[in-house]
Structure 1
Amino acid sequence: MIRVQLCTQQPLAVAGLRNILLGDAGIQIIEQPGDIADVILRGRPSCADVAIVQSEPKVLKYLRSASAGHAVAATYPIVVVTGPLFEHAVLGAISGGIRGFVSDRAVDEELVPAVRCLAEGRAFLSPRITNGLLDWLAGQLPADPTRFSRANKVLTEREREVLIELGLGHSNAQIAERFVISQTTVRSHVYHILTKLGLPNRTQAVLFGYQYQLITRVA
């Protein structure tokens, strides 16, 4: 059972988040209301596994404090439900230890998976946020035309399609469903992409794809 603390003082927001979370039998909402200040100043409640906060001016103020965020996030996973954010705001929160970002435009689909990811020690970054962030990061990287040319030559059409799906934040299972292939085949495609491009992991493959415009931004 994953125990979740809702850290928002907005009644409508609390009601909406509760309805989504209570639809999953493996999640329990603890009756200990609080806000982001409580999380930062007091730390993790002994009875909670994950905190959910909403992005608003006060929240962003605390999340921009890397030292405060890191001290809490190191022991208390925090999911931020947010609208569009400037890239530096996302990076600032990430540097502060925040590992969960859910788009308020897709909260019904993303909230429960995000809670589960953070409870398991993994990160969750909404594809709606990932696309803009990777576009921005790619713009900070120097481009090498020879690598772009080589990538176009060595990747098959299906491998480029899989690279695009990775860039959209899709899992192996989602990619398999998209192309009506097995997850084993997807893993094989990812392995070949990494090998052919000389990249260490799928995150680097996604950055490479954005940098050399093999992946185009999808809103």
Structure 2
Amino acid sequence: MKPIRVLLADDQQLLRTGFKMVLGTEADLNIVGEAADGVEAVEMSRRLLPDVVLMDVRMPRQDGVAATREIVAQKLPVRVLILTTFDLDDYVVGALRAGASGFLAKDVPAEELVAAIRTVAAGDAVVAPRILRRLLDRFADLLPDPNASPPTRISTLTDREREVLVQVAKGLSNAEIAQALMVSETTVKTHVGHMLTKLGLRDRVQAVVLAYETGLVRPGSP
């Protein structure tokens, strides 16, 4: 298998060095570059096309949220994994809305960092829906007015797909959704796949964010 190509984006050289030491011991991971700010992160993502960018939030010239948004807008085949402080940056929700595939605390254990990179490179997200929901509840004031008209693309979903979207946003796994809807887990996976495709979303993380934005799920709802 081809090694996973990783770009490090952090304004602190010491942290980049630490990440390199950890990731350099993994045979399937290859550090292809280092960026010291968001502008460099975007430029190097465009030039190097890494599989995953480990993106710090607070950087000079351009922060990680803006850099993530630009990478996604350019439709680069690059996935972004946001790095944040232990107490959660207020920018995290914005980063996820911008198209990040998830986030990690900077003090995450090495084995979790490595596993997260592999997960993101494989096309999945690394934020558990329940954790993301708590984040969105906490930062609900950063989201658009839930009473606003929902995007027209939501109307493309079938009733069942919309129901699955709500269950995903509530933090249920495929197995739990299957039990709640009294269908097979395979059926749920099919509905989730169709829902993501119709909405133009990369993963379940973006589905949860969209469910909040459209008011399908409200902060603090059961």
Identify the structure with the greater helix proportion. Answer: 1
The percentage of aligned residue pairs carrying the same residue is 25
Q: 1:62 Cα deviation (Å)?
A: 4.8
- The TM-score with structure 2 as length reference comes to 0.56
- The TM-score with structure 1 as length reference comes to 0.57
Name the CA shift for 1:55/1:109 in 2 (closer, same or farther; >3 Å): farther
Query: Gapped runs of 5+ residues in structure 2?
Result: 148-166, 193-203, 209-215
d(CA) in 1 for partners of 2:52, 2:69: 19
Give the letter for the 2:134 counterpart: G
1:117 alignment partner, one of 109, 116, 119: 119
Report how many aligned residue pairs link the two structures. 169
d(CA) in 2 for partners of 1:33, 1:53: 10
Query: Gapped runs of 5+ residues in structure 1?
Result: 143-162, 173-185, 214-219
What is the CA deviation profile of residues 6-41 of structure 1, one whole-angstrom value per residue up to 9, with x for unaligned ones? 1224222012212321343211222x3323211224
2:94 alignment partner, one of 88, 92, 95: 92
Q: 1:190 Cα deviation (Å)?
A: 4.3
2:78 alignment partner, one of 62, 72, 76: 76
Matches within 5 A, 1:4-153: 4-30=6-32, 32-35=33-36, 36-41=38-43, 43-46=45-48, 48-58=50-60, 61-64=63-66, 68-72=70-74, 74-83=76-85, 84-86=88-90, 89-125=91-127, 130=132, 132-136=134-138
Name the CA shift for 1:73/1:21 in 2 (closer, same or farther; >3 Å): farther
Give the letter for the 1:34 counterpart: A
- Do the aligned partners of 1:43 and 1:72 also contact (CA within 8 Å) in 2? no
d(CA) in 1 for partners of 2:10, 2:111: 20
- Do the aligned partners of 2:7 and 2:45 also contact (CA within 8 Å) in 1? no
Root mean square deviation of aligned Cα: 4.1
